[in-house]
Amino acid sequence: MPNILSIKNFFVLSLIIALSGCVSSSIDPSRYEKESSYTIINAEPTRLDELFKREVSSHSLTEETGFYPLDKGHDALLARLAIIETAQSSIDVQYYIFRDDEAGNLIGWRLFEAAERGVRVRLLLDDMQKYDDQDLVRFSSHPNIEVRMFNPHHLRSARSISMLSDFERLNHRMHNKSLTVDGIVSIIGGRNVGNEYYSIESNVEFADLDLLMVGKSVRQVNRQFDLYWNSDYSIPIEWITPIEEHYTDADVDKWVQELDLEAKFSGGTYDFAKLPLYNDLINGTVKLYWGIGELLYDLPDKPDSKQSTLIDSLNSVLEDSETSLVFISPYFVPTEQGTKELIAAVQQGLEVIIITNSLASNDVFAVHGWYAKYREDLVEGGVQLWEVKSNAEIKKNWSLTGSSRSSLHTKAMIIDKQKVFVGSMNLDPRSAHLNTEMGVVIEQPEYAQKVYRNLIDEIPKTAYEMKMEDGDLVWFDHTTGETLTSEPEASIWRRMGAWFSGILPIEEQL
């Protein structure tokens, strides 16, 4: 009798081999000529120059970076829309996720309007999220818009099979997040494009942080974008799917009316004019922090080189720390080596604080399953470990009637209360080895100390402190004085899922 398992494996292997052949032939680079393009340097001052002139006049753009922290979802969306609407020459957009929801549609609409004004729009998206290729290619058919996909799936309607047939390549993703207008103003940080990042009604709301920047770091963002845009990993959407029809002004007008975009964001709950940042932006009165900044980023060939230039650069910054390190990461998997290094830092006299998600607030319970393996060692080693509650209140102006829970999504560090790091990088193996990431380190004591003080004041209200009592790990709630002995607010199914994930050999994928 034949071995059924062997026969099954043979057919699976045959399928993979066959699909691999389909993959290699599905995109023909000779179909189109891929043209390189670069940041547009404006010969004359732009409107954005004028809006930030008051702040820029007393600072050196050559050496300094000016920034405004976007720690509220509504401000983060408004800032993006405001600089897009002010664009005169170019808009460069780079995201891991760009959802087809109110936030995504609103930004997409404003990008199209900018293109209609003659602004060049370059849109670079990672291809992990499933997009409608026809929508993208129609968008890209505008003479002033070009869309490229980073490391795209070749089997567009069978992504699971595509991953199975080409896992080694497709497992590497572009996690970078940036939006730059006229080469002058950039927004980078942890937010993707989707309702949950911008305080628009959704089942979960992410607490996140971006920086709106001018000055030296923006020029570095420009170089970073050009490097990714012109890399071999960035594929024009026209190579992936043929154009069947083009967008017209009438199509866009009908689409906007059907989605009620203009009405929804010009009155009522989501009225931009009622938000404080709105008037500051349009009047050029935004007050910036200024400091010495440096953009850190992985190279687009990280999937091949296996080297994280961001990690290498950041390690040199962290090694120079003298008094304290605060790490904020939604997905925290320190690994055995990382755990030893954090404990060693405490033993050397540093205050080490880690803020991450609880199981209930974590949207990826598999990550929690592996992180949980290191909690006891960290707490016993003197690391101050906090887990954010799923019902933590997020500062906002907009209502969230559909949001049932909150989740930490900020990726940031405070170093010696003197420097801050804000970016896309989680503290986990995937960010270190598999995804490309970016972030900025800025030396700005006033802001760093302000954020540190706010965290020390607020974190006992919004998170559980992890402690050891009688040899067991417990969760202490400072607001109620209660000590909990099991994962708070988490269902038995989430606990079981996290536990099971923790016994699987998947740590390097998380």
Architecture (CATH level 2) of domain 294-509: 2-Layer Sandwich (3.30)
Q: What's the pLDDT score for residue 69?
A: 95
pLDDT digits (tens, 9 = 90+) for 394-448: 554 443 333 446 889 999 999 999 999 999 999 999 999 999 999 999 999 999 9
Domain boundaries, the chain: 63-283, 294-509
* β-strands 289-297, 65-70 pairing: antiparallel
Give the DSSP H or E segment for 445: helix 445-462
Residue type, 43: A
Q: 3-class SS at 425?
A: coil
User: What are the DSSP E strand ranges found in 25-177?
Assistant: 65-70, 90-95, 120-126, 145-150
Instruction: Please say whether the dihedral angle defined by the alpha carbons of residues 265, 267, 270 and 271, taken in this order, is positive or negative.
Output: positive
Q: What's the pLDDT score for residue 266?
A: 67
Phi-psi region of 372 (alpha: psi -120 to 50; beta: other; left: phi over 0): alpha
Percent of the chain's residues with pLDDT above 70: 89
What average pLDDT score do residues 99-116 get? 92
Rounded to 5 degrees, what are φ and ψ at 270?
-105, 35
Rounded Cα–Cα distance for residues 189 and 211 (Å): 6
Instruction: Please say whether the dihedral angle defined by the alpha carbons of residues 332, 336, 338 and 340, taken in this order, is positive or negative.
Output: positive
Query: Would you call 130 exposed, middle or buried from its count of C-beta atoms within 10 A (0-12, 13-18, 19+)?
Result: exposed
Neighbours of 164 (CB within 10 A): 16
pLDDT digits (tens, 9 = 90+) for 246-269: 777 777 778 777 777 776 666 665
What average pLDDT score do residues 458-479 get? 95
Cα 388 to Cα 74, 207, 396: the distances in Å are 21, 10, 17
Q: Which residues are catalytic?
A: 175, 177, 182, 409, 411, 416
Rounded Cα–Cα distance for residues 180 and 96 (Å): 15
Q: What's the pLDDT score for residue 394?
A: 58
Contact 147, 164 (CB under 8 A): no
Q: What's the pLDDT score for residue 267?
A: 62
80 compared with 202, residue with greater pLDDT: 80
Contact 385, 379 (CB under 8 A): yes
Q: What's the pLDDT score for residue 248?
A: 73
> Is 294-509 the same fold as 63-283?
yes
CATH no. of 63-283: 3.30.870.10
Rounded Cα–Cα distance for residues 350 and 174 (Å): 33
pLDDT digits (tens, 9 = 90+) for 193-247: 999 898 887 777 788 999 999 999 999 999 999 999 999 999 999 999 888 777 7
DSSP character string of 343-385: HHHHHTT-EEEEEEE-TTT-S-HHHHHHHGGGHHHHHHTT-EE
Contact 155, 161 (CB under 8 A): yes
Query: Does 450 score more than 70 pLDDT?
Result: yes
For the chain, the residue count is: 510
Give the DSSP H or E segment for 221: helix 216-229
Contact 179, 80 (CB under 8 A): yes
pLDDT digits (tens, 9 = 90+) for 156-190: 888 888 888 888 899 999 999 999 999 999 999 99
276 compared with 330, residue with greater pLDDT: 330
Contact 234, 80 (CB under 8 A): no
Rounded Cα–Cα distance for residues 264 and 269 (Å): 8
Count H helices, E strands: the chain?
21, 20
Query: Does 469 score more than 60 pLDDT?
Result: yes
DSSP character string of 243-270: ------HHHHHHHHHHHTHHHHTSSGGG
Residue type, 156: R
The least confident of 29-38, 103-112, 132-141, 213-222 is 29-38
Q: What's the pLDDT score for residue 419?
A: 97
Residue type, 195: N
Sole residue written with tokens 């290619």 = 137
